[in-house]
Structure 1
Amino acid sequence: MSTIETPVRDASCAQAPLLAVLGGDLHVPLLDGRRVRYANLDYAATAPALASVAERVNHVLPLAGSVHRGAGVPSQVASALYEAARASVARAVGARADDLVVFTRNTTDATNLLASAVPAGAGDVVTLDVEHHANLLPWQRTAGGHRCVAHAATIEETFSRLEDALAARPTALLALTGTSNVTGETLPLQRAADLAHRHGARLFVDAAQLAPHRAIALSALGVDYVALSGHKLYAPYGSGVLVGRRDWLDAAPPYLAGGGAVREVTTDSVDWATGPARHEAGTPNLAGAVAIAAAFEALAALADEDGSDLRHAHERALRQRVLDGIADLPGVHPLSIWDDADDAIGVVAFAVDGYAPGHVGAYLSAEHGIGVRDGRFCAHPLLAAFGRPEGALRASFGVGSRLEDADRLVAALRQLVERGPDHAYCASQSGWVPEHDTRDLAAWAGLDLGGAAKPTPCGAG
């Protein structure tokens, strides 16, 4: 099996990546003909695969057979690997002995699965308005309904509002983000669990952003359910996870009807399985499950001699470098949800006066080789609360980031506000693009992209 690379230990200065990622030294073409190392500041959308994760997957694929569906040696190996990955994930998130680990496609899929399992008559589901759409929309389908609580300017007042909401009427589930996908600010999860349990509810945590940056311990925190995605966790192989208490999941209708989810089938009846199999019909994603387990294994190695997590200092240095760098840039405004948030992962959200977010994103990419996210981040209510219905920008860091990436972003933003971009841009059907883009991305990638990488003409759409 693959080895876990030795983490870099000087994380306090963030000069070097903590772990090797695929594409870490990728060089991309600019409008002026140069090629520069790509500054990936979009980890919060999809993180690159860890080199050790890719190595593990490549080792497994030639050995793979049909999971739980064959007597051949590859099938036996695949089945053992799949269940070993399940057990590894359970350990990584501090699951209780009787918790279920169900592999899904991603966090959205996992959240929809749990939404289908909330018992009728148990009460409604309460969320905050800061949530990603994946932690808002699924709950609207639950039998008991959904209430969305407006956040306050502080976490203290926000929790007071949640307390009032839970006390107002029976609540089955409090569903909260572990850390905002927009600003990176984290919530006190043990406090949230205590609040939910005090009012007879359970706590679900959307950990899509939290899991790649912080250790999670369901049992110690009192969290009842957690969902996460491999593509955020340096394991972009199409898999996610729902972990939590088995009673709701065993009693829920099977999430997918199909082979593997049953004990016995006749032409007019079915006896459904319990446990993870109940919700994992069809041939499972072996590579995805193995990748998530391998990613957790590699991230667990990021502990210093005193037991502290190297990710904290690494991301804190990167985040603060950007915040300090843009503090004196006129018209550049960092965004935050809570005045009293004392912890955040490596994410900085900001807006630039006089420029559409897509315009800034296109400029950063085409002239500086920097990738950020622009738009509303699947968090429309939060962006509306910020007074930014047109969206904003988000720079996000991870274990493959380095201080140079933060400095390049600040320098590029300084150029933008002081003298503007060197090239003209326009809004097209596919978003903001350079008016004259001669780069051949298909040739650069060495792939047949079917014309999809050709520049979209300005004015199209």
Structure 2
Amino acid sequence: MDAPTLARLERRGDFPSLASGWHYLDSAASALKPQAVIDAATRALGGDYATVHRGVYAKSAEMTRAYEAARRKVAGLVGGAEDEIVFTRGATEAINLVAYSYGQVVGTGRRVLLSQLEHHSNIVPWQLAGWQVDVCPLTANGRIDLDAAEAMLTRDHAMVAFAHVSNVLGSRLDVARAADLAHRVGAKLLVDGCQAVPRLAVDVDALDCDFYAFSAHKLYGPTGIGALWGRPDLLAAMPPWQGGGAMIDRVTFEGTAFAAPPARFEAGTPAIVEGIAFGAAVDYVLSAGLDAIHAHEAALVDELREALSRRNDVTVFGPADSAGIVSFAMDGVHPHDLGTILDENRVAIRAGHHCAQPLMDHLGVPATARASFGLYSAADDIAALLDGIDRTRRIFG
């Protein structure tokens, strides 16, 4: 293995879940948590705990500073400013927020261009919010076909919403080009960054997108929290989509004046502990180095794809340079059966449609098996997976 790969192996001891000796290859669904993140959450829930934003006592002020410091860290991760980050329950809620709230800015006749590889969380919210959905096809190797997108986009489109990295194929989007195509027709670009932020350096200014959504739990952080980065002028123009405490300036029975973003979109007591742990996860990832993480995962992807390519009963999906994810299918074996047999060998993969049923229809399969890597993944995980595939073939004949 190359030097970046070897460097990352030193961090496996940071993850208590790996102490039992299992091979975790489901990081695209949810990454394991390092001890640093667990400790940050424990402190925040324990001796440091107080509510935020409302208390005049010292402990509340300290907790507020810690919570808002986490927001600055999350903003810095994607090259944004503190007041451009809205904390949400995850990327799903972030996309729902834009679909509903920016949809009110657009008004009737709103139209969005999605792609065939989108996660359900970047399909269903637009449908529920009343957007007309158009679908961009994929290239032969599983990338969003931006040439086709250019031909499809019209002045009727108010939004383009694409995944930065596919959660099934690992294919990467040329975000800057997608932004240029959207802006030429007056549309905005929302990017689903869930699979990108754990493994790629992201700079929203360089990408020139308008919204960027991601979740903490795929970034080695806690569940129940995520973030929406948005251009400040767009956030300022958007109405709130939930009402309650903290998102107001003044309330009377005759009407309410709302707070400025991001508070406008954060009704109620926030996920305080999760927010602080989110910040700790950002610290951890940056200490490991996103370039090193990407190089490490790329080496593992190359190793697994090359090994699977030597098996004539396995089909591998997506481009050769997929980012941290390898999806495949075995002839005559349902992915659920493969996943069950691998579990007996203490190998954890994902098996199913991966919340991307339209993509499965496009691929012509009901489901795939998916191995996804993290900074703690190693060659022995691949070896265990391949042993399990060989055992599965012996069982099924």
Structure 2 residue 329 is matched with structure 1 residue 351: yes
> CA 1:332–1:156 in structure 2 vs 1: closer, same or farther (change >3 Å)?
closer
The one-letter code matched in structure 2 to 1:371 is A
Paired with 2:153 and 2:375, the residues of 1 have a C-alpha distance of: 38
Structure 2 residue 391 is matched with structure 1 residue 420: no
The one-letter code matched in structure 2 to 1:140 is Q
Paired with 1:381 and 1:157, the residues of 2 have a C-alpha distance of: 14
Moved more, 348-357 or 149-158: 149-158
Say which of 383, 398, 421 aligns to 2:374: 398
2:360 alignment counterpart: 383
How many Å apart are 1:267 and its aligned residue?
A: 2.5
How many Å apart are 1:328 and its aligned residue?
A: 2.0
- List gaps (5 residues or longer) in structure 1: 1-8, 28-36, 423-461
Paired with 1:148 and 1:157, the residues of 2 have a C-alpha distance of: 10
2:282 alignment counterpart: 296
Moved more, 136-145 or 370-379: 136-145
1:431 alignment counterpart: none
Paired with 2:10 and 2:160, the residues of 1 have a C-alpha distance of: 36
SS at match of 2:9: coil
The one-letter code matched in structure 1 to 2:66 is L
Q: Is the 8 A contact 1:14 1:403 kept in 2?
A: no
Moved more, 11-20 or 138-147: 11-20
Paired with 1:228 and 1:48, the residues of 2 have a C-alpha distance of: 16
- List gaps (5 residues or longer) in structure 2: none
How many Å apart are 1:152 and its aligned residue?
A: 3.1
Paired with 2:83 and 2:207, the residues of 1 have a C-alpha distance of: 14
> CA 1:15–1:257 in structure 2 vs 1: closer, same or farther (change >3 Å)?
closer
Moved more, 262-271 or 17-26: 17-26
Scaled by the length of structure 2, the TM-score of the pair is: 0.92
> CA 1:370–1:157 in structure 2 vs 1: closer, same or farther (change >3 Å)?
closer
2:88 alignment counterpart: 104
Q: Is the 8 A contact 1:117 1:251 kept in 2?
A: no
How many Å apart are 1:20 and its aligned residue?
A: 4.4
How many Å apart are 1:369 and its aligned residue?
A: 0.3
1:54 alignment counterpart: 38
How many Å apart are 1:357 and its aligned residue?
A: 1.2
Q: Is the 8 A contact 1:363 1:421 kept in 2?
A: no
Structure 2 residue 10 is matched with structure 1 residue 23: no
SS at match of 1:351: strand
Q: Is the 8 A contact 1:351 1:357 kept in 2?
A: yes
Paired with 1:270 and 1:278, the residues of 2 have a C-alpha distance of: 12
After superposition, give the CA deviation of every residue in 1:321-362 in whole Å (9 maximum; x if it has no partner): 2112222223111111xxxx5642111101111111111111
After superposition, give the CA deviation of every residue in 1:166-189 in whole Å (9 maximum; x if it has no partner): 13x422111110000001111111
SS at match of 2:153: helix
Q: Is the 8 A contact 2:164 2:172 kept in 1?
A: yes
> CA 1:156–1:253 in structure 2 vs 1: closer, same or farther (change >3 Å)?
closer
> CA 1:243–1:332 in structure 2 vs 1: closer, same or farther (change >3 Å)?
same
Paired with 2:12 and 2:279, the residues of 1 have a C-alpha distance of: 16
2:199 alignment counterpart: 213
- The RMSD of aligned alpha carbons is 2.2
Say which of 204, 210, 221 aligns to 1:235: 221
Paired with 1:203 and 1:222, the residues of 2 have a C-alpha distance of: 9
Runs of 4+ in 1 over 4 A off after TM superposition: 17-21, 154-157
Structure 2 residue 309 is matched with structure 1 residue 327: yes
Say which of 335, 348, 366 aligns to 1:371: 348
Say which of 138, 152, 160 aligns to 2:139: 152
Say which of 401, 411, 430 aligns to 2:387: 411
Structure 2 residue 246 is matched with structure 1 residue 269: no
Q: Is the 8 A contact 2:167 2:195 kept in 1?
A: yes
Paired with 2:48 and 2:202, the residues of 1 have a C-alpha distance of: 31
Say which of 311, 315, 330 aligns to 2:297: 315
The one-letter code matched in structure 1 to 2:3 is D
Q: Is the 8 A contact 2:5 2:299 kept in 1?
A: yes
The one-letter code matched in structure 2 to 1:386 is L
Structure 2 residue 150 is matched with structure 1 residue 163: yes
After superposition, give the CA deviation of every residue in 1:105-150 in whole Å (9 maximum; x if it has no partner): 1110111011112222484211101100111111123455222222
For residues 85-96 of structure 1, what are the structure 2 equivalents within 5 Å?
85-95=70-80
> CA 1:156–1:205 in structure 2 vs 1: closer, same or farther (change >3 Å)?
closer
Q: How many residues align?
A: 392
Q: Is the 8 A contact 1:125 1:146 kept in 2?
A: yes
Scaled by the length of structure 1, the TM-score of the pair is: 0.80
SS at match of 1:116: helix
After superposition, give the CA deviation of every residue in 1:208-243 in whole Å (9 maximum; x if it has no partner): 111111111001221211111111110024210001
Q: Is the 8 A contact 1:117 1:249 kept in 2?
A: no
After superposition, give the CA deviation of every residue in 1:258-277 in whole Å (9 maximum; x if it has no partner): 11111111223211212111
Paired with 1:162 and 1:12, the residues of 2 have a C-alpha distance of: 36
Paired with 1:201 and 1:100, the residues of 2 have a C-alpha distance of: 20
Q: Is the 8 A contact 1:128 1:151 kept in 2?
A: yes
Paired with 2:196 and 2:129, the residues of 1 have a C-alpha distance of: 25
The one-letter code matched in structure 2 to 1:379 is A
> CA 1:421–1:17 in structure 2 vs 1: closer, same or farther (change >3 Å)?
farther
The one-letter code matched in structure 2 to 1:67 is V
Paired with 1:144 and 1:387, the residues of 2 have a C-alpha distance of: 27
The one-letter code matched in structure 2 to 1:387 is G
Q: Equivalent pairs: percent with the same residue?
A: 35
How many Å apart are 1:47 and its aligned residue?
A: 0.7
The one-letter code matched in structure 1 to 2:384 is R
